Structure 1
Amino acid sequence: MKQSLKVLLLISLLLTFSHSSFSSNQPIKLVGDSAWEPFYGPNLPEGGFVMALVAAAFAESDSKVKIAYEPWSRALLSTLKGSHDAVVGAYFTEERANQFHYSEAFYTNEIILLSLKSKKVKYNGNLKSLTAYRIGIVQDNAYTPQFDNADYLHKEVVVHPIQNIQKLFLGRIDILVETKAIKAITLYLTNKHYPKRLPEIQILQPPLSQNELHLIVAKNNPHAQLILTHFNRGLKKILKSGQYKQILRRFLVSS
């Protein structure tokens, strides 16, 4: 019996050492979509407000992060293969939940429909009112289950969100589906793309949905629960301390 207790104690100590070593010495390898500005991106200050929030949460547990960017589909696949520890900014889907553990939600994002005022799009909140229009979407993005499964809609797929904006101004689509970080996306469009044409764009009401952003970790990652525990604990701390809101204000983003 004493021998069994010694073995259990040794195992416990080894696990504790392993977890401590992982959290303090090895950076947590994060990956994000290579085309998701203004939420995050390699050319944004601090990687964008989403990465800044995630890094701040991990910092509360003395965990350093290493950030990479890949096309969304590749990011998911490479994380499942072990190249990365976690994917940043995922919406919840039942399909993903079969392969990934989800963190607590750290930001709520609206999914909106954008069009040109000159198009005079008639939308009443019912997706069937959009059957006459060409709708631009981004490859492998999850919007809402109802929209994603609406095969009766005319959807045109692009790889990068800016392609949809270009197609909208060229008259090749009538509507684009986009995420809304309110001031951040307005500044992004103003400063980087078509600033003179920005007044032509209108947001159709009501929004498609409000989606929560999560950190996701592959279920086959042996450190999955530890990573999520550190992140969730850190998230609560930055929310309580006010650091969370400070980061959003720094990036001119609404919570």
Structure 2
Amino acid sequence: MKIRCIPVTAILMYAFGMSPLFAADNPVMRLASLEWAPYVGSRLHQEGLTAGIVKVAARQIGMDTKISYSPWSRTVYAGLNDPNYAGYFPAFYLKEREKTCYFSGVLGHSVVGFAYLKERPFQWTKLNDLRGIKIGIVQDYANGEEFDAMVKQRVLDTDAAPSDVSNLRKLLAHRVDVIVIDK
């Protein structure tokens, strides 16, 4: 059975009675998210660009939105498993996620790439070129189906961290060669 993720479609589905969270006496939809500027964040204007889109969509169907912020792994867990949440956002589309989530249309675009230290450049043209390079990733982030499959098969050497900030610190301390990060 598919459950909560990416809220725009979820907002519409839940509003039409598919979840007890949206009974007439409870017009507030709780969603889980992470601090990820400029898309979402508790200290950003209107909680960020993506949060603003979600809030406007919810208002269109007469609902208010309350967003709780946690590290990504906790966000995903709450959005999928905690009955107090209608879902979580934002998340990249993956076929695997489609098994447990309803997806809306695209809410925005993000460019993901590698960051490395200027004094330690590296060259690559295809993912196989990354073998033997220690790559910092964020725990439970989607980094593309092919990349994620290679990580799962342990073809790529990765070191997971709870956040981009943690990965940047590892990069500066030379604990990883490169990190995967949003531009």
Partner residue of 1:156 out of 152, 156, 159: 159
Alpha-carbon deviation of 1:155?
0.6
The answer (yes or no) to whether the contact 1:23–1:63 under 8 Å persists in 2 is no
Which secondary structure state, in structure 1, belongs to the residue aligned with residue 85 of structure 2? coil
Match of 2:180 in 1: 177
Match of 2:86 in 1: 85
Identity of aligned residues (%): 26
Which secondary structure state, in structure 2, belongs to the residue aligned with residue 89 of structure 1? coil
Count of residues in Structure 1 that have an aligned counterpart in Structure 2: 162
Change in Cα spacing, 1:118 to 1:40, as seen in structure 2 (3 Å) is same
Q: Which protein has the bigger helix share?
A: 1
Match of 1:94 in 2: 95
Bigger Rg, structure 1 or 2: 1
How far apart are the structure 1 equivalents of 2:36 and 2:113? 15
How far apart are the structure 2 equivalents of 1:156 and 1:76? 20
The answer (yes or no) to whether the contact 1:26–1:64 under 8 Å persists in 2 is yes
Identify unmatched segments of 5+ residues in structure 1.
1-14, 181-255
Q: TM-score w.r.t. structure 2 length?
A: 0.77
Match of 1:168 in 2: 171
Q: Which protein has the bigger strand share?
A: 1
Which secondary structure state, in structure 1, belongs to the residue aligned with residue 31 of structure 2? strand
Alpha-carbon deviation of 1:53?
2.0
Q: Tell me how large the CA RMSD over aligned residues is.
A: 2.5
Amino acid of the residue matched to residue 80 of structure 1? L
The answer (yes or no) to whether the contact 1:32–1:69 under 8 Å persists in 2 is yes
How does 1:239-250 map onto structure 2 within 5 Å? none
Q: Could you list the structure 1 runs, at least 4 aligned residues long, displaced by more than 6 angstroms after superposition.
A: none
Residues 67-124 of structure 1 show CA distances to partners (whole Å, capped at 9, x for unaligned) of 1122333333333332201211011223322222111111122221111222121112
Alpha-carbon deviation of 1:178?
0.8
Amino acid of the residue matched to residue 136 of structure 2? G
Identify unmatched segments of 5+ residues in structure 2.
1-15
How far apart are the structure 2 equivalents of 1:167 and 1:103? 34
How far apart are the structure 1 equivalents of 2:74 and 2:177? 29
Amino acid of the residue matched to residue 181 of structure 2? E
Q: TM-score w.r.t. structure 1 length?
A: 0.57
How far apart are the structure 1 equivalents of 2:95 and 2:57? 26
1:52 partnered with 2:52: yes
Query: Greater relative contact order (Cα 8 A, min sep 6): structure 1 or 2?
Result: 1
Match of 1:249 in 2: none
